[in-house]
A and B are shown apart, each in its own frame.
Chain A
Amino acid sequence: MIVEIGHFALILAACVALLQGVLPLAGTVNQNQRWQALAKPTALLQFALIALSFVVLAHAALTDDFSVKYIAAHSNSLLPSQYKLASVWGGHEGSLLLWVLMLSGWTVAVALFSRTLPLAMVARVIGILGLVSTGFLMFILTTSSPFERLLPAPADGRDLNPLLQDPGLVIHPPMLYMGYVGFSVAFAFSVSALLSGRMDAAWARWSRPWTVVAWIFMTAGIALGSWWAYYELGWGGWWFWDPVENASLMPWLFGTALIHALMVTDKRGGFKAWSVLLAIGAFSLSLLGTFLVRSGVLTSVHAFAADPKRGVFILIFLAVVVGVSLTLFAWRAPKATLGGKIGLVSRESMLLVNSVLLVVATGAVLLGTVYPLIVDALNLGKLSVGAPYFNAVFVPLMVPVVFLMVPGGIAHWREARWKSLGRELQIPALVAVLSALGIWILSERGTWLVAMGLGLAVWVVVGLLMQIVARMKKPGRIPPSFWGMHLAHLGIAVVVVGITFVKGYEVERDVRMGLQDTVSIGEYTFELMGVSDVDGPNYKALRAEVKVMQKGQFLETLHPEKRKYFSSAMPMTEAAIDSGLFRDLYVSLGEAIEGDKPQWSVRVFYKPFVSWLWYGAILMVLGGLLAVSDRRYRKSAASLG
């Protein structure tokens, strides 16, 4: 009975969402203030209804109600409670419910924090969000309801995919979704600016904090996903250029470009049309990501649905969103006034080049991700685009982006002088070149790629230190957004160091080991001490004991496992990792090899600086948070109000 209440609440929510989408927008056309004022209450009501149905589904999951088809397919009575909760978004239907819950949550946040905005603007933004929500609710109700019953109810559920039974995966999807969905707010702001015909700087100022918050979640979500792949998949990789990863990277790249373009629109009044286009693009790519991940056109751990109806629905939805907003753009954007003149060398020109490069990189990733799908859909054969393509394209496009971060931060707005800019860049350039040459010559496996990576990172760090010193010499309070920007840029440098060293110096050994056999990497020696059987709550495991010695001194014991889950008989490699600031030691256990004496295949990695990838992401997130905490945003919104 409770389950039906959840279903009913969802139907009601769809009706309310339609009201929220239509009435306030209509109110802005016929100047009816009462209709416009409906935006906030309908948004709140919609959120309450969706939250109710989400709680109902969570309740069903926690109480093992296997008469619900979704729960029976994704949960199991033996599953620990936190994973029962995670199973609510561990499948297609539930994850979409989470999506709309977040969308309505963002809408409510807009409704609550927009007291200083003009009523018509709020009505437009909330109305557009309501229309997006209507689309998704209709999608859930018509093709993928999580509340469908399964009668007679099975005795037990089919269990959550063992790969997903992991703390990282409990929070990874919600984080990423917050980011995906968060770009809908920037989208709604920019479309309402187009609708109002007032393409001034105000909308950019209002949407800046929202965009940064969405970007923060997106960054955290991508980093968590990469971290999870690293320790859970058992082969030590952290980025595979898998279509699903690309689906999250593309809106992130656009979002990064958008944050910077919005800053120019807000501060200088330039890039207006460009910002609108980026906002539309970021949200469209979020929708495309949802389509790729959820439609079943890709086969991976993320793609649950194999129902073509679902894919078609999202594709049509995507086409409508992109088509309508681009038409609106073509119609209204020419009205946008240009900002002041931009010099050939200025902060604006460098920001423009960087955002164009980010867009080109996104296009390249999009080509590699979507091309095989299109070729397959047209029955022209089957092919795939491998990681070498993405590496060959993405890295050269990102190098100038990272390079321009430094002069872009130093150069003056409007018109910078070559001479003074060159003088200020001397020190970072010198230090960067010296450290690049140093590692190339001094380190044993130094290549020009390693030299370039390290040089770039040093260039960024020295450059931003100099900017901080220069700023501290000037009088006046330094706003948190200044620190936020430099912290986020430092994060990029840290990630570059991580990628450079792990790509340049990692060592992998695939060996077969009997008891007391050893394998060495550099100064580390790994010895297999024993292998035993272990019982987990819903699995049986083979657990190895590996003693690690460093320069002959005992360092630690690692316990990699090979698990077999009861419900699916699916084996899982559980790697053991000793994570340090400057290197990770990574051991994963393969299968037993039959022979006269017991042997196992074992994979051992030495991964220098790999954890810097995630430290960098943490710095970026902290930088974003600092920037959002800046009171300037709220003040100026009020003064513009």
Chain B
Amino acid sequence: MKPRHQRFLLITAGVAVLAIAGMFVLNAFQSNLVFFFTPTQVSKGEAPQGRAFRVGGMVKEGSLQKDGENVQFVVTDFAHDVPVSYKGMLPDLFKEGKGVVAQGKLSADKQFSASEVLAKHDENYMPPEAKHALDQAEAAKAAQSAKP
């Protein structure tokens, strides 16, 4: 093989490897994006069925029920509620009346079954998604009451 051919082969192989790697990265990326929805969006049916997403807001006061590892609680943005079920140990800072973000799927009966309840690192810290949900609901309310 002439050196020129060899270099050509090397470059072609390199480009091919990069293209395959790129395709495969973008494919994995596409299927693993987890979108965020507010409780209002979820109850309006904007959230996807059968695909994992995140929902965030406040844990509704008095909604927490524990039965061993099975946990039920309600996430609210004070406009709409989403019931959540979860199996496992809750993070240290999980409390009623505090912000929370849960990741999971929506089942047929509008029950959100969480695979992950996100831990917080600081008692004063509010998950940004939860805060976003509350702000959205607040803004929607303000807009509604402003209407005559």
Contact = CB atoms under 8 A, between A and B. Distances in A.
Interface of A: 161, 163, 233-235, 299-301, 341-344, 349, 353, 356-357, 360, 363-364, 367-368, 371, 381-386, 388-389, 392-393, 396-397, 510-512, 568-573, 590-591, 593, 601, 603
Contact of A382 (B18, B21, B129): B129
A591 B93 CA distance: 11
Nearest to A509: B69
Given A384-B54, A510-B69, A510-B89, A163 B121 contact: yes
Contacts of B14: 353, 356
Interface string B23-34: 011001100111
A341 B3 contact: yes
A365 B89 CA distance: 29
B122 A301 contact: yes
A388 B115 CA distance: 13
B93 A571 contact: yes
Interface in B106-127: 119, 121-123, 125, 127
Nearest to A594: B66
A618 to B, nearest CB: 28
Contact of A299 (B24, B28, B34, B127): B127
Contact of B89 (A360, A385, A590): A590
Interface in B72-125: 87-90, 92-93, 103, 119, 121-123, 125
Contacts of B92: 234, 570-573
Contacts of B32: 385-386, 388-389, 392
A368 B123 CA distance: 27
B9 interface: yes
Contact of B28 (A161, A360, A381, A389): A389
16 contacts: A161-B122, A343-B6, A344-B9, A356-B14, A357-B21, A382-B54, A384-B36, A385-B34, A386-B52, A389-B28, A389-B32, A392-B28, A510-B89, A511-B69, A512-B69, A568-B123
Nearest to B120: A299
A51 to B, nearest CB: 31
Interface of B: 3, 6, 9-10, 14, 17-18, 21-22, 24-25, 28-29, 32-36, 52, 54, 66, 68-69, 87-90, 92-93, 103, 119, 121-123, 125, 127-129, 132
A360 B14 CA distance: 12
A360 B129 CA distance: 30
Given A570-B93, A572-B92, A573-B92, A381 B121 contact: no
Contacts of B69: 510-512, 601
Contacts, number: 101
A558 B85 CA distance: 32
B18 A356 contact: yes
Contacts of A571: 92-93
Contacts of A364: 25
A349 B88 CA distance: 49
Contact of A301 (B10, B54, B121, B129): B121
B44 to A, nearest CB: 15
Contact of A397 (B21, B89, B122): B21
Secondary structure dominating the interface of A: mixed
Contacts of B132: 382
Contacts of A396: 24
Contacts of A357: 21
A485 B119 CA distance: 40
A569 B33 contact: no
Give the interface centre of A163, A363, A392, A568 by most chain B CB atoms within 10 Å: A392
Given A300-B121, A349-B10, A389-B28, A382 B93 contact: no
Given A299-B128, A383-B36, A393 B28 contact: yes
Contacts of B21: 357, 360, 397
B89 A386 contact: no
Contact of B125 (A299, A342, A397, A510): A299
> Which of A341, A357, A386 counts the most B-chain CB atoms under 10 A from its CB?
A386
Nearest to B22: A360
A386 B88 contact: no
Contacts of B24: 393, 396
A277 to B, nearest CB: 15
B80 to A, nearest CB: 17
A382 B25 contact: no
A240 to B, nearest CB: 10
B98 to A, nearest CB: 12
Nearest to B3: A341
A383 B103 CA distance: 11
Given A341-B3, A603-B89, A569 B35 contact: no
Contacts of A568: 122-123
B121 A344 contact: no
Nearest to A304: B122
Given A349-B10, A593-B66, A601-B69, A569 B36 contact: no
Contacts of A356: 14, 17-18
Contacts of B89: 235, 510, 590, 601, 603
A163 B121 CA distance: 8
